[in-house]
A and B are shown apart, each in its own frame.
Chain A
């Protein structure tokens, strides 16, 4: 229950973060870059989309699904075993994708984006919670 509360909270933070990036992208504005000044370089690079879908939109979708699954597990809706496995697979997959994007920033784009790193940290924190929690 505590682990689910934390995963839900982190998903909600991820939703607000990706919503901010989506709003800025749609408005053709540059997002604030609280640390460093390379956010725009990363967010406008060719790696900012996967199969023509912007990463912020994919992130929003993933965070919404995570928060809904966490809620289902708390309220005990539907097949609990399936939701647990789905949640674990999603967090592991998102962590791996975040590793890949962080590597891209480090070695390929050679610029750091505050929002991308914050999103990656949010997901890795979920992975840590998953690993240390004995029971979801």
Chain B
């Protein structure tokens, strides 16, 4: 990925996560309405508390991406978080947006993955 594209994607995703985090903090109960009933039963804490925790996770992810610090960690947390959102909220009108954000997060992770992690999972290329 071109460095400019990488930074545009990084800042764009950062703003998305920060703003979503702020909106959830504004009204955590309403955002809890997106959670499917079966997932609600599995929650270890009241839905409002879970949503506030989610909001702070979003803000932390956004800050990591915006400040260009541990971008790989922010990106993998973002991707994991998005997978969780897709699982617990089911298919609805905004699913398509979640898929786009998930794809962007994975692209960012692939570009920023540090060598010590990459070397563990990707075998070195064989020189011919």
Q: Which residue numbers of A lie inside 8 Å of B, CB to CB?
A: 5, 8-9, 12-13, 15-16, 19-20, 23, 67, 71, 74-76
Q: Which residues of B contact A15 (CB under 8 A)?
A: 66-67
Contact yes or no, B19 A8, CB < 8 A? yes
For chain B, the bracket of interface size reads 10 to 19
Going nearest first, the 8 A-B pairs with the smallest beta carbon separation are: A16-B11, A12-B15, A71-B22, A75-B25, A75-B26, A74-B22, A9-B15, A74-B26
User: Which residue of A is nearest B10, CB measured?
Assistant: A16
Contact with A along B48-92 (1 / 0, CB 8 A): 000000000000000000111000000000000000000000000
Contact with A along B8-24 (1 / 0, CB 8 A): 00110011001100110
| B7 lies within 8 A of chain A by Cβ | yes
Distance A106 CA – B40 CA, assembled complex (angstroms): 60
Q: When A8-B19, A12-B11 are in contact, do A19 and B26 touch as well, CB less than 8 Å? A: no
Q: When A15-B66, A16-B66 are in contact, do A75 and B22 touch as well, CB less than 8 Å? A: yes
**What total count of A-B pairs have CB within 8 Å?**
37
Contact for A12 among B7, B18, B25, CB less than 8 A = B18
Q: When A16-B7, A16-B11 are in contact, do A9 and B19 touch as well, CB less than 8 Å? A: yes
Contact yes or no, A74 B11, CB < 8 A? no
Contact yes or no, A13 B11, CB < 8 A? yes
Distance A115 CA – B10 CA, assembled complex (angstroms): 18
**Sample (18) of A-B pairs whose CB atoms are under 8 Å apart:** A8-B15, A12-B11, A12-B14, A12-B18, A13-B15, A15-B66, A15-B67, A16-B10, A16-B66, A19-B68, A20-B68, A67-B18, A71-B22, A74-B22, A74-B23, A75-B22, A75-B26, A76-B26
Q: Which residues of A contact B15 (CB under 8 A)?
A: 8-9, 12-13
Q: Which residues of B contact A8 (CB under 8 A)?
A: 15, 18-19, 22
Contact yes or no, B19 A5, CB < 8 A? yes
Q: Which residues of B contact A20 (CB under 8 A)?
A: 7, 68
Distance A23 CA – B68 CA, assembled complex (angstroms): 10
Given contacts A20-B68, A74-B22, 17 further A-B contacts (CB under 8 A): A8-B18, A8-B19, A8-B22, A9-B15, A9-B19, A12-B14, A12-B18, A15-B66, A16-B10, A16-B66, A19-B66, A19-B68, A23-B68, A71-B22, A74-B23, A75-B25, A75-B26
Q: Which residues of A contact B10 (CB under 8 A)?
A: 16
Distance A20 CA – B4 CA, assembled complex (angstroms): 12
User: Which residue of A is nearest B23, CB measured?
Assistant: A74
Contact yes or no, B66 A12, CB < 8 A? yes
